[in-house]
Amino acid sequence: MKRVLLIATLLAFVSCVKSLPQLNENNIERVIKLMTAEEKARLLVFGNNQYEEDSTQVDMIAACKNIVPGSAGFTYPIWRLGIPSIVMADGPAGLRIAATRKGSDRTFYCTGFPVGSLLSSTWDVNLVEEMSAAIGEEVLEYGVDVLLAPGQNLHRNPLCGRNFEYFSEDPLLSGKISAAYVRGVQSVGVGTSVKHFAVNNSEVNRLSCDSRVSLRAARELYLKNFEITIRESSPWTVMTSYNYLNGRYTSEDAGLLKGILRGDWGYGGVIVSDWGGGYDARAQIAASNDLLAPGHNWQVKAILAAMQNGKLSEKDIDACVRRVLELIVKTPRFKGYEFSNNPNLLSHAKIARKAAADGMVLLENRSALPLQEGVKVAMFGTNSYKLIAGGTGAGCVNKAYTISLDKGLAESGFTLDVGTDEAYREFLDKERMRMEEVNAKRGWWYGDLPFDELPEAKLRKTAISAASSADVAVITLVRQAGEGRDRLVKNDFNLKPSEISLINEVTEAFHSKAKKVIVVLNVTGVVETASWKNKVDGILLAWQPGQEAGYAIADILGGVVNPSGHLPVSFPV
């Protein structure tokens, strides 16, 4: 008899669940009324870590994590009401997901596109929109719903580690380029997350740094670019920053979020915290920061406690829940889109190459460029053979390749000087073995350290020989940076002693033969050029141009593409 009653009870429960309304764009208010307090709290907290103290949720969380391996996070699903989990992933220079997966022999590469500083150097909103639509297509076909990009904080500090992700020191240029980026990505039916709101201009101590800014400076500079983006592109989400702003965490600042972003600018989309940003879950929800990432049980408990003791109003909770549900019903996952895992990477590589070349800036040219077809080029600098496509951390992309400058030049009809090539390859074989061991201890987050340069005696001998056999010298200087750290003045903003020696030895040898020397800057941000720019005959600012780097640089050096990039930031004299 007990077994019959149990079965009857289970059938009644299943029947009840089936009769519940399932979320759609027309019944959001009804669904909110049917949600329990705990369901509301969990929906406002990302699902990544909600199993920490509840083993019953482990399987559900694991299944959500496996939707798109390597993605940044996912919202908590409430299946009884037809609320699925949606997926968010980095990043600004192309989608960041895991390239390899358990149980699969194939790789899931994404296109490494040019970084933000290069895009803003194009001053071309149409090109940026075209390129970001290609990023959006990869987001869609790999099953991601929201891309955590673009980053658009101002380059207030030229040494900020994430300046490569950001667009400019100028709010108008930053806002226009960012709006174009958002329109492009969202044109294919996926969302963006404009970040980091606001006044996030450094990476050192980013969780405790307090940006002190007057209201006028904030309105006219640090917030103006965000305002332009909000008004001209309607991003699906906005991400708050890690830092304090005038003594308050941005994700807990009701004046910033409710007052300016929502009130003054009329923004109605979702606001999501940066991963681990903020401290007080109650204050974040009260300020209308709708989603807390990456999500923890203690945040759920804090929200529930605040609801029960009256420190969080039902109105504030429901407003956040409503915006999250409005986001969910717009997504490809909610609409049942069957993603292919096969975006058109070949087509996107061509777009990446075009954008990269269009954003390079010719800083100096004393009748050195363009190079005539077929000339013999002597390449100096170890990173001519190992260009850097993009920055580290969340801005990095798991791409199939990066085209080196020697490959780009050779395949564009130029002849490489054999002696220089052999000297560097012999050195690089040894250097690669040494650096693999060094970089293996650093972890992906910090990226690889660049290789050392040729020893000075070897360099001098190589330069003298190359000056007799080659027509022109090309020197590549690189810089790398990324999330969590800022650059330094010594050996980063300023050239390293080995780089100064490199310029001096090569220019002395080649100028003695009345031959030109060109420097390519494959850099993450501003470097000092005033002290050495008159020693060389040409300087090409290539930024970090993405996976097609070598081809795009060769397009400029050979005159296939006219250098038309403009500086989006100041290079100090």
The predicted-structure confidence for 253-297, as pLDDT tens digits, reads as follows: 999 999 999 999 999 999 999 999 999 999 999 999 999 999 999
Q: Judge contact between 58 and 297, C-beta under 8 A.
A: no
pLDDT exceeds 50 at position 559: yes
Q: Which of 124-138, 320-334, 447-461 has the lowest mean pLDDT?
A: 447-461
Catalytic residue flag (residue 486): no
Q: What are phi and psi of 156, to 5 degrees?
A: -65, -40
Q: How confident is the model at residue 1 (pLDDT cuts 50, 70, 90)?
A: very low
pLDDT exceeds 70 at position 333: yes
Percent above pLDDT 70 for the chain: 94
Measured distance CA(240)–CA(237) in Å, rounded: 10
| Coil vs helix vs strand at 85 | coil
pLDDT exceeds 70 at position 330: yes
| Coil vs helix vs strand at 496 | coil
Name every residue whose Cβ is closer than 8 Å to that of residue 215 and which is 6 or more positions away in sequence: none
Helix, strand counts (H, E) of the chain: 19, 15
Tell me the per-residue pLDDT of 224-247, one tens digit each, with 9 for 90 and over.
999 999 999 999 999 999 999 999
b/e per residue 164-178 (b: at least 16 CB within 10 A): bbbbbbbbebbbbbb
Which amino acid makes up residue 42? R
The confidence score (pLDDT) of residue 51 equals: 62
Q: Judge contact between 94 and 110, C-beta under 8 A.
A: yes
Name every residue whose Cβ is closer than 8 Å to that of residue 294 and which is 6 or more positions away in sequence: 46, 48, 49, 72, 73, 275, 276
Q: Judge contact between 214 and 249, C-beta under 8 A.
A: no
Tokens encoding 210: 């307090």
Tokens encoding 478: 């690189």
Question: Which class for 31: exposed (0-12), middle (13-18), buried (19 or more C-beta within 10 A)?
Answer: buried
The confidence score (pLDDT) of residue 433 equals: 76
Tell me the average pLDDT across 68-82: 95
| Coil vs helix vs strand at 147 | strand
pLDDT exceeds 50 at position 371: yes
Q: Judge contact between 410 and 416, C-beta under 8 A.
A: yes
Residue 291, beta-bridge partner list: 272
pTM of the model: 0.94
Q: How confident is the model at residue 55 (pLDDT cuts 50, 70, 90)?
A: low
The confidence score (pLDDT) of residue 5 equals: 45
Tell me the per-residue pLDDT of 101-115, one tens digit each, with 9 for 90 and over.
998 999 999 999 999
pLDDT exceeds 90 at position 4: no
The confidence score (pLDDT) of residue 18 equals: 59
Name every residue whose Cβ is closer than 8 Å to that of residue 416 and which is 6 or more positions away in sequence: 376, 377, 378, 379, 406, 409, 410
3-state helix, strand, coil in the chain (%, to 5): 45, 10, 45
Q: How confident is the model at residue 572 (pLDDT cuts 50, 70, 90)?
A: confident
Q: How confident is the model at residue 442 (pLDDT cuts 50, 70, 90)?
A: confident
- How far out from the chain centre does Cα 490 lie? 26
Round the average pLDDT of the chain to a whole number and report it. 93
Residue 338, beta-bridge partner list: none
Q: Judge contact between 145 and 199, C-beta under 8 A.
A: no
Measured distance CA(480)–CA(572) in Å, rounded: 20
Catalytic residue among 274, 358, 417, 555: 274
Q: Which of 46-55, 116-125, 319-328, 512-521 has the lowest mean pLDDT?
A: 46-55
Which amino acid makes up residue 493? F
Q: Judge contact between 197 and 226, C-beta under 8 A.
A: yes
Distances (CA, A) of 418 to 223, 395, 432: 53, 36, 20
The confidence score (pLDDT) of residue 451 equals: 77
Helix axes 297-308, 314-328, angle to 10 degrees: 140
Q: Residues 168, 170, 175, CA angle at the centre, nearest 5°?
A: 80
The alpha helices in 44-170, defined as continuous H runs, are 58-65, 116-122, 125-141
R_g (Cα) of the chain, nearest Å: 26
| Coil vs helix vs strand at 194 | strand
Q: How confident is the model at residue 12 (pLDDT cuts 50, 70, 90)?
A: very low
The confidence score (pLDDT) of residue 60 equals: 66
Q: Judge contact between 478 and 523, C-beta under 8 A.
A: yes
Segment holding 539, helix H or strand E: strand 538-541
pLDDT exceeds 60 at position 553: yes
Name every residue whose Cβ is closer than 8 Å to that of residue 128 and which is 6 or more positions away in sequence: 119, 122, 177, 180, 181, 184, 355
Tell me the per-residue pLDDT of 169-227, one tens digit each, with 9 for 90 and over.
999 999 999 999 999 999 999 999 999 999 999 999 999 999 999 999 999 999 999 99
pLDDT exceeds 90 at position 564: yes
